[in-house]
Amino acid sequence: MPRRPVIGVAMQTLPAKPGGDLPTCWIMGQRYVEALRAVGALPWLIPLLPQDPDTLAGIFDRLDGVFLTGGVDVDPSRYGENKHPKCGTTDPDRDAVEIKLLEHATVANKPVLAVCRGIQILNVARGGTLYQDVAEQVPAAMKHDYFPTPAQPSRSYLAHEISVKADSRLGELFGEPVVPVNSMHHQAIKDLAPGLRPTAFAPDGIIEAVEGEREKFLVAVQWHPEELLDTQPGMKRLFTAFAAAAA
């Protein structure tokens, strides 16, 4: 059996109970872990210990790749802006650990796959900025915030199409220029960071994917492919290619 690649996933801070005085917890959505398992990777959930670089470095050294998942908004102070009223909850510990993870991955040239918040923290880590609320700040934009509600609970709802650059890794993986995706984001890339190439766009011009210009494997998408593994073969191929690059 081939060696299974170890993939690091930073968690997110959450109180054990709202308003309670129980110790704070770290959490991570099960779908992300399941998607890694489905392609043979070994998930390693990373504690948020930005004040303990030795422990983080010890964990990073044992990783073969990094998976940046969805989650709360990146703190706007990370890209030099005040918080917009429509910007949501932030998790500065998670921001700090994911930025360190990305620095490590860059130095060690380890594969990175990023989803939703992941494409946003990647862009910020590399010096870019974000729309803090697309609906508010991009009047011509279409609806991107199809967050599940009791009436429409599906995280796999195909909300809009993207056009994919043919001469990109995503173009190769999908094999078609237009792909339907789900869309559960209210933020998006504003100023693109240097070294990142946009490889997919929504019909309104919002950047839906970027790839590293120099890295072995650096792919970041604004949608949630982990929810589409069983219905869209291209999404499974994306995770499989990531695990293969890390193995």
Residue given tokens 């609320």 in the structure block? 133
The nearest distance, CB 4 to Mn ion, in angstroms, is 32
Phi-psi region of 82 (alpha: psi -120 to 50; beta: other; left: phi over 0): beta
Q: Does 187 bind Mn ion (CB under 5 A)?
A: no
Q: Are 144 and 134 in contact (CB under 8 A)?
A: yes
Nearest CA to 70 among 11, 13, 127?
Answer: 11
- Please identify which residue in 106, 182, 183, 199 interacts with Mn ion, judged by CB under 5 A: 183
Name 235's Cβ contacts closer than 8 Å, sequence gap at least 6.
225, 226, 228, 229
Q: Are 72 and 92 in contact (CB under 8 A)?
A: no
Specify the residue, 104 or 144, whose C-beta has the smaller distance to Mn ion.
144
The nearest distance, CB 136 to Mn ion, in angstroms, is 15
The nearest distance, CB 115 to Mn ion, in angstroms, is 12
The nearest distance, CB 81 to Mn ion, in angstroms, is 21
- How many whole angstroms from its chain centre is CA 219? 9
Hey, which residues are catalytic here? 116, 224, 226
Specify the residue, 224 or 236, whose C-beta has the smaller distance to Mn ion.
224
Residue given tokens 């998930």 in the structure block? 43
Task: Output the CA–CA distances (angstroms, integers) from residue 99 to 48, 81, 102, 105, 151, in the order listed.
Answer: 12, 17, 5, 10, 36
Two tokens at 126? 């590399």
Q: Does 132 bind Mn ion (CB under 5 A)?
A: no
Q: Are 205 and 166 in contact (CB under 8 A)?
A: no
The nearest distance, CB 179 to Mn ion, in angstroms, is 12
Piece of the chain touching Mn ion by CB under 5 A; list 66-74, 127-135, 178-186, 238-246? 178-186
- Which x/- pattern, by CB under 5 A, does the window 134-173 give for Mn ion? ----------x-----------------------------
Two tokens at 231? 């219905």
Specify the residue, 56 or 207, whose C-beta has the smaller distance to Mn ion.
207
Q: Does 120 bind Mn ion (CB under 5 A)?
A: no
Specify the residue, 44 or 157, whose C-beta has the smaller distance to Mn ion.
157
Q: Does 224 bind Mn ion (CB under 5 A)?
A: no
Q: Does 182 bind Mn ion (CB under 5 A)?
A: no
Q: Does 117 bind Mn ion (CB under 5 A)?
A: no
**Nearest-5° Cα angle at 27, 86 to 74:** 30
Q: Does 110 bind Mn ion (CB under 5 A)?
A: no
Site residues, Mn ion (CB under 5 A)? 144, 183
